Chains A and B, each alone.
Chain A
Amino acid sequence: MLNILRLEFLLILRSGSHVVLAFSFFLFFMLLFALSTFRDNFILSGIGLTAVWLSLLMSTLLTLNKVIHEDFESGVLDYLLIADIPIEVTLFCKTIVHWISVVLPLLLITPIVLLTFQISSYNIIKTVLILLLGSPSLSFLGTMISCLTLSNRSSFLLTTITIPFYFPTLLLGVFCSSSTTTNLFAFEYLLLYANTLFTVVLSPYISSYAIKLNYS
């Protein structure tokens, strides 16, 4: 499996323009948020946590058609389906690589971007930690929906179906980020962990089922 992860990273390295796209989109979206709420510092620090989740969601959405749609159109997916490696493992690896290459860089610049929102450093660290624990579900949900919408060549369905599915993650994420408790096992955190684990475990199976449906 490590070998497969390595090969998928190589693919991203060679044709990963979407990584740069997501990164710059996130950066500019956040900065525009900060700049456009210049009138009131109170609103600014209140809106920061919501803005970071929203921009993360949007930039992830931009890259989803790269996870599996491209392989489907070029025909690579045909060969992945008949490979010795089960398609579930392949999908899991592809999603992990998507998370590491697209979402993780965004989390790395989040602290710097959040400084412009005048948020205390304690809250920044907390937010990044919550993003780290909550964001894998964005990639895994994304893979699931991409596999469901394979036959739709324009990513219209992919985008419109994914947004409602991102809603629970968005709500839980914002709720946890703005919660004042320091206990990492409080109810809202547990819900966020459950959401992540649920999607991580179920996504490869539902995705492979969706692909097989599409091929029949």
Chain B
Amino acid sequence: MEKIKKISISINSLSCAVDGKVILDDINFSLTSGQSITITGRNGVGKTLLLNTIMGFKASFRGKIFINGGDLSSNPSNRQEQIGYFGHKASLQIGLTPREVLNYWKAFYSSDAITSDLIKFWELPNNAVENCSKGQRKRIALARLSLMQRNIWVLDEPTTNLDPVGKEKFLELHTLHLKSGGLSIITTHEPEQFKKSKMINLDRYRGNLSQC
């Protein structure tokens, strides 16, 4: 995370649809280095949908997403260079141990992070992921987020299932990330944890469900 340059993301009148129904309508925000935004809203309002749209996992949307001024849909490779993702599913290979999981992803993200440091930091156990609790799985997934070494963090409820110590560790990492010039987009039900963060409540952006 040392060599972070100036970075910005801006979302211009983004509307997301599922099965032809507009779920979210006309969302605008922009962030630059050191800023973060928390996305709140009741269950099912489309928080994860918004993140998936930014990640390119769902493509039925209108509007534009710019990273450093470049349109994301015309050069999707920006996503590979900039965005670090943390989804609501842990998405781990349950047969492996945490160390093996981290080594696996280390290769896939050509990362130079040191696995044993991450294991020590997150206090990861030495048994198969299969036998890990939900909180422990979250910790492994957060360790993977650090492995990615990307400038833009897109996080889907990073603190649920974490114990107070884990939350503290995560918030510490997050502050460090912002200080070193990164930015983050976070969905959460506890926005008060992220001090100095911008806020957006999706309840106000609900699309007209009947219309295409």
The verdict on A80 contacting chain B, using a C-beta distance below 8 Å, is: yes
Contact between B109 and A84, CB atoms less than 8 A apart:
yes
Surface stretch bound by B, among A7-15, A129-137, A175-183: A7-15
User: In the complex, what residues of A have CB within 8 A of residue B100's CB?
Assistant: 10, 14
- CB pair A75 B91 closer than 8 Å: yes
Residue interface bits B90-109, CB-to-A below 8 A is 1, else 0: 11111110001001110111
At the interface, yes or no: A76 with Cβ under 8 Å from chain B?
yes
A63 at the interface (CB under 8 A from B): no
Tell yes or no: B153 within 8 A of A by CB: no
Taking residues whose C-beta sits less than 8 angstroms from the other chain, chain B's interface range is 20 to 34
Tell me if B89 and A75 are in contact (CB < 8 A). yes
Pairwise interchain contact A82-B83, C-beta atoms closer than 8 A? yes
Interface of B is mostly: loop
Q: Taking the nearest CB of chain B, how far is it from the CB of A166, in angstroms? A: 28
B144 touches A79 (CB 8 A): yes
- B96's nearest neighbour on chain A, judged by CB, is A14
Q: Which residue of A lies closest to B108 (CB)?
A: A83
Assuming A15-B94, A74-B94, A78-B57, is B89 touching A83 (CB within 8 A)? no
Query: Are A215 and B110 touching (Cβ within 8 A)?
Result: no
Inter-chain contacts of B103 with A (CB < 8 A):
7
Chain A residue contacts of B144, Cβ below 8 A? 79
Report Cα–Cα, A164/B116, bound state, in Å: 48
Closest chain B residue to A80 by CB distance?
Answer: B108
Residues on B with beta carbons closer than 8 Å to the beta carbon of A10:
96, 100, 104
Cα of A78 to Cα of B58 in the assembled complex, Å:
11
Question: B96: which A residues are within 8 A, CB to CB?
Answer: 10-11, 14
- Complexed CA–CA distance, A7 and B109 (Å): 13
B87 interface hit (Cβ, 8 Å):
yes
Contact between B104 and A74, CB atoms less than 8 A apart: no
Question: Chain A residues with Cβ under 8 A from B91's Cβ?
Answer: 74-76, 78-79
Q: Tell whether B80 is near chain A: CB-to-CB under 8 Å.
A: yes
Residue of B60, B87, B107 touching A75 (CB-CB under 8 A) = B87
The interface residues of chain A lying within 8 Å CB-to-CB of B55 are 78, 82
A3 contacts B by Cβ under 8 Å: yes
Top 8 A-B residue pairs of the complex, sorted by shortest distance between their CB atoms: A75-B91, A14-B95, A216-B59, A15-B95, A75-B89, A83-B108, A84-B110, A7-B104
- Complex A-B: 24 CB contacts under 8 Å: A3-B107, A7-B107, A11-B93, A14-B100, A14-B128, A15-B93, A15-B94, A15-B95, A74-B89, A74-B94, A75-B90, A75-B91, A76-B91, A76-B92, A79-B85, A82-B79, A82-B85, A83-B105, A84-B80, A84-B109, A84-B110, A85-B108, A215-B57, A215-B59
* Given A7-B107, A78-B55, 10 additional A-B pairs, CB 8 A: A11-B104, A75-B87, A78-B85, A79-B108, A80-B108, A81-B57, A82-B55, A83-B108, A84-B80, A215-B58
